[in-house]
């Protein structure tokens, strides 16, 4: 059903350790064109990320909200303090200049696979936390 390495189990509320969901994005490789990283929620690895090096959001802490995107035709997680930046699905950052943080499994710099499945799992976890009244924060660091 799901590709290797993807787990489809929902996160029970008992596993959320506080009223804050912490999403940590660690940028491991920042090249001239692509920026690749990993994303975890409350310490558990969820997926990899790909961003445009030129159009990436600054490292820091951001609140996450779900907002309807005209571009994507659905709600997507946006960074409240930088609303032009959002977490989305897609395969490649090449040709993109709109602040997308692509989620999926890393293939090569700037490319991810299984993005639709991993985006849905991430979206569902964020949506569930927000519906329970939890605060959702994205912390972006570079190593």
The confidence score (pLDDT) of residue 90 equals 84
Amino acid 95: pLDDT: 73
Q: What is the reported pLDDT for 74?
A: 85
- Are 59 and 140 in contact by the 8 Å Cβ rule? The answer is yes
Phi, psi of 116 (to 5 degrees): -60, -45
Cβ contacts of residue 104 below 8 Å, gap of 6+? 47, 48, 50, 89, 91, 112, 113, 114, 115, 118, 119
Query: What residues of the chain score a pLDDT lower than 70?
Result: 1-17
Which pLDDT score, from 0 to 100, does residue 21 have? 97
Distance CA 100, CA 10 (A): 25
Cα 51 from Cα 132, distance rounded (Å): 30
The values of phi and psi at residue 117, to 5°, are: -65, -50
Return the pLDDT at 71: 77
Non-local (6+) Cβ contacts of 135 within 8 A are: 19, 20, 21, 63
Report pLDDT for 3. 45
Instruction: Say what the pLDDT of residue 126 is.
Output: 97
- What local confidence, expressed as pLDDT, does residue 139 receive? 97
What confidence score (pLDDT) does residue 91 get? 81
pLDDT at position 92 is: 84
Measured between alpha carbons, how far is residue 139 from residues 24, 44, 64, 135 in Å?
5, 14, 10, 13
């Amino acid at each position: 059903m799901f590709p290797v390495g993807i787990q489809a189990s929902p996160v029970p509320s008992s596993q959320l350790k506080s009223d804050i969901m912490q999403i940590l994005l660690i940028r491991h490789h920042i090249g001239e064109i692509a920026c690749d990283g990993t994303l975890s929620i409350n310490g558990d690895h969820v997926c990899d990320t790909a961003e445009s090096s030129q159009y990436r959001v600054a490292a820091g802490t951001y609140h996450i909200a779900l907002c309807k995107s005209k571009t994507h035709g659905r709600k997507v997680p946006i960074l409240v303090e930088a609303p032009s930046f959002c977490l989305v699905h897609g395969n490649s950052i090449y040709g993109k200049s709109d602040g997308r943080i692509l989620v999926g499994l890393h293939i090569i710099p700037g490319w991810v696979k299984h993005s639709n499945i991993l985006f849905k799992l991430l979206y569902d976890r964020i949506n569930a936390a927000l519906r329970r009244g939890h605060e959702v924060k994205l912390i972006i660091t570079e190593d």
